[in-house]
């Protein structure tokens, strides 16, 4: 995820302080991985340096000064360009799970057990996401669906790999 572009997109609704940007980000995108304040401010500093945001005001308070950021025309153009670019599909050709299967076979360990354990973990996560989806709003349902579809694809791969373990063992010389 491009945090810079996401923060710029949030700024299109109007100027905000870094604290408000963090809260909006976490509410919309950070359920599982909230944004750290340091990341917000370092990103805003970079966007400011690149002319994509400007300081719209500074407020003195009990602590450090609070800067309010506003998106610039260049920032709006940058977000628009980002939105038109397709994301590169991630083919997962360097999967950790695949590597574990091959290493398990090469070292004489139980790849079938590894696959069974992973299958159980995938199913556990799918139950968690399904429960979350039931209680969530439409945005949460969509992100859960995205994750569930990826987990389903992984499960299909686990099943296919389980069925081919003996042949794979022979082909890799284990």
Question: Can you give the residue ranges of every domain in the chain?
Answer: 3-84, 96-171
What is the band of 31 on the pLDDT scale with cuts at 50, 70, 90?
confident
Residues 147-155 have a mean pLDDT of 95
Q: How far is CA 34 from the centre of its chain?
A: 11
For residue 150, how far is the Cα from the chain centroid? 13
For residue 71, report the phi and psi dihedrals to the nearest 5 degrees: -75, 145
> Tokens representing 37?
């304040």
Kindly tell me if the per-residue pLDDT of 90 is higher than 80: no
**Which ranges constitute the DSSP H helices of 12-137?**
18-28, 37-49, 73-84, 96-106, 111-135
Average of per-residue pLDDT values in the chain? 90
Averaged pLDDT for residues 79-104: 84
Judged against a pLDDT cut of 80, whether residue 14 lies above it is answered with yes
What is the Cα–Cα distance from 158 to 112, expressed in whole angstroms?
A: 10
For 3-84, CATH gives 1.10.10.10
pLDDT band at 93 (very low <50, low <70, confident <90, very high): low
Residue where the block lists tokens 């299958």: 119
Q: What is the pLDDT of residue 40?
A: 94
Identify the residue with better confidence: 1 or 116.
116
Looking at residue 48, what is its pLDDT?
96
């Amino acid at each position: 995820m491009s945090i810079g572009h996401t923060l710029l997109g949030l700024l299109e609704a109007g100027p905000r302080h870094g604290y408000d940007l963090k809260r909006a980000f976490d509410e919309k995108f950070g359920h599982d991985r909230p944004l750290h304040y340091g990341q917000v401010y370092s990103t805003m500093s970079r966007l400011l340096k690149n002319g994509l945001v400007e300081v719209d005001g500074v407020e003195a308070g009990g602590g450090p000064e609070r800067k309010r950021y506003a998106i610039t025309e260049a920032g709006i153009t940058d977000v628009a360009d980002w939105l038109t670019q397709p994301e590169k599909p991630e083919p997962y050709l360097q999967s950790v799970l695949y590597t574990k299967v091959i290493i398990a076979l090469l070292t004489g360990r139980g790849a079938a057990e590894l696959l069974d354990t992973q299958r159980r973990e995938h199913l556990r996560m799918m139950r968690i996401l399904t429960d979350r989806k039931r209680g969530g709003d439409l945005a949460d349902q969509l992100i859960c669906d995205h994750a569930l579809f990826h987990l389903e694809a992984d499960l299909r791969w686990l099943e296919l790999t389980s069925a081919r373990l003996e042949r794979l063992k022979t082909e890799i010389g284990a």
